[in-house]
């Protein structure tokens, strides 16, 4: 058997066929509430369904925000979503009817209602439950299709970092991303505000001159944002974990991108136009820096990555985290063996074996590839098994293009 054939990245499994040739690794029913006033009804439908395959997302605001609208639409179109129920109160800006229309255009079973028109809480819940049960029967017949690592989009971010994140956790992710890209897959890394001090490192890896300009523009904007907000992306928990400065944290954070050329910069809700390595920019655009906070929580960052089409999201956390994701399975990786042992029900992968010498970087990366293949094949991640379904969609302003290159 050749070295290539022996690699876990040569694996093939069954995914879910979607319109336009897209492929999903989950077949979720997604309930979307369009305003905070509709959240209770939407959440009750999910909870009372008794079906772990039913997921919930929503936007709290009653007024217009195109950033949030774009994100909701991108999540409806996500390949891990098989059917959509949109739930509104009846007087908010984001209308459930046109969200259901977008889902139907993707050939996904979809419905919508307003709680006001249904007659209040209990009739609305009954209607939603009936529809969810019907949709679940339809999704049993979703066509299956072969998938491989070349079909996958995987996102990576850090949360609750300690000194092991930059020495092991992010290092293993970076090596895995290198191998994923070599096999035709796509990787997205984010947290440009955790790249402070490393602009020359990023621009040196640009795939071409246009991308180099994109990276410099995105870095400069993030630096101005941090100055404007008078806060850099380093916390008391990072200090307790052994990090001392934002520059030190940045070196550990950026290493999760691996070594491959960066193909360009994505904005939130914009899918990568081609395979390879991409940087996700989640900071508000200039002149709107008071409008929305960048990376207010790990859940927001994971949802940003998911909105770009990530099938799976990595959360590298030295100190430990428990969150999941409503749409893309979350694989939590730690470089701290003590954290892995202490939070074993929540942590998926121990990269600390690289630090104790029992596994090499390459061996750890292949171990992670085996875990990814298992999760992509349907095995629940730790957060999925526990029922974690977090999400965070906020008010923000971003254009969908990155100067100087106009992306679709």
Distance CA(60)–CA(277), nearest Å, equals 33
Q: Is residue 230 part of a domain?
A: yes
Task: Give the per-residue pLDDT at 405.
Answer: 56
- Segment 347-382, tens digit of pLDDT: 999 999 999 999 999 999 999 999 999 999 999 999
Distance CA(132)–CA(41), nearest Å, equals 13
Structural domain of 293: 148-386
Q: Is residue 269 part of a domain?
A: yes
Task: Give the per-residue pLDDT at 244.
Answer: 65
DSSP code at position 131: H
Residues 6+ apart with CB under 8 A from 74: 269, 270, 271, 307, 308, 309
Q: Is residue 102 part of a domain?
A: yes
CATH number, domain containing residue 66 = 3.40.50.2300
Note if the pTM is more than 0.85.
yes
- Segment 187-240, tens digit of pLDDT: 999 988 888 888 999 999 999 999 999 999 999 998 888 888 766 666 666 656
Task: Give the per-residue pLDDT at 10.
Answer: 92
DSSP code at position 140: T
Task: Give the per-residue pLDDT at 233.
Answer: 66
Q: Which residues of the chain have pLDDT under 50?
A: 1-5, 406-408
Task: Give the per-residue pLDDT at 237.
Answer: 63
Task: Give the per-residue pLDDT at 247.
Answer: 64
Residues 6+ apart with CB under 8 A from 262: 202, 205, 206, 207, 211, 215, 277, 278, 279
DSSP code at position 143: P
Domain boundary, last residue among 112, 144, 176: 144
Same domain membership, residue 64 and residue 161: no
């Amino acid at each position: 058997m050749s070295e290539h054939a022996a690699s876990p990245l040569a694996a093939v499994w069954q995914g879910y066929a979607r319109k336009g040739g897209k492929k999903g690794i989950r077949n979720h029913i997604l309930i979307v509430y369009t305003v905070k006033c509709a959240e209770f009804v939407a959440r009750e439908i999910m909870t009372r369904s008794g079906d772990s395959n039913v997921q919930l997302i929503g936007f709290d605001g009653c007024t217009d925000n195109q950033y949030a609208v774009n994100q909701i639409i991108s999540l409806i179109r996500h390949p891990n979503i098989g059917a959509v129920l949109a739930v509104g109160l009846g007087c908010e800006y984001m209308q459930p009817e046109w969200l259901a229309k977008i889902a139907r255009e993707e050939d996904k079973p979809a419905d919508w209602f307003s709680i006001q028109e249904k007659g209040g809480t209990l009739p609305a819940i009954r209607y939603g439950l009936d529809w969810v049960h019907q949709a679940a029967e339809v999704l049993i017949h979703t066509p299956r299709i072969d998938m491989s690592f070349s079909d996958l989009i995987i996102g990576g971010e850090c949360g609750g970092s300690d000194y092991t994140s930059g020495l092991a956790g992010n290092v293993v992710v970076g090596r895995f991303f290198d191998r994923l890209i070599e096999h035709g897959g796509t990787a997205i890394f984010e947290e440009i505000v955790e790249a402070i001090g490393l602009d020359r490192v990023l621009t040196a890896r640009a795939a071409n001159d246009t991308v180099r300009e994109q990276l410099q523009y995105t870095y400069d904007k993030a630096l101005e944002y941090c100055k404007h907000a008078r806060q850099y992306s380093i916390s008391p928990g990072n200090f307790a974990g052994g990090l001392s400065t934002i520059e030190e944290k940045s070196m550990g954070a950026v290493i999760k991108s691996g070594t491959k050329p960066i193909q360009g910069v994505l904005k939130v809700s914009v899918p990568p136009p081609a395979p390879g390595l991409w940087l996700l920019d989640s900071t508000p655009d200039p002149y709107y820096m008071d409008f929305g906070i960048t990376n207010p929580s790990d859940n927001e960052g994971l949802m940003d990555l998911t909105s770009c089409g990530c099938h799976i999201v990595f959360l590298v956390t030295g100190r430990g985290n428990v969150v999941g994701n409503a749409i893309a399975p979350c694989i939590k990786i730690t470089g701290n063996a003590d954290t892995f042992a202490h939070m074993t029900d929540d942590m998926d992968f121990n990269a600390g074996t690289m630090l104790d010498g029992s596994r090499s970087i390459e061996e750890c990366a292949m171990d992670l590839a085996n875990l990814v293949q298992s999760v992509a094949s349907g095995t629940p991640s730790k957060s999925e098994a526990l029922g974690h379904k977090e999400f965070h969609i906020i008010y923000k302003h971003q254009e969908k293009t990155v100067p100087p290159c106009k992306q679709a």
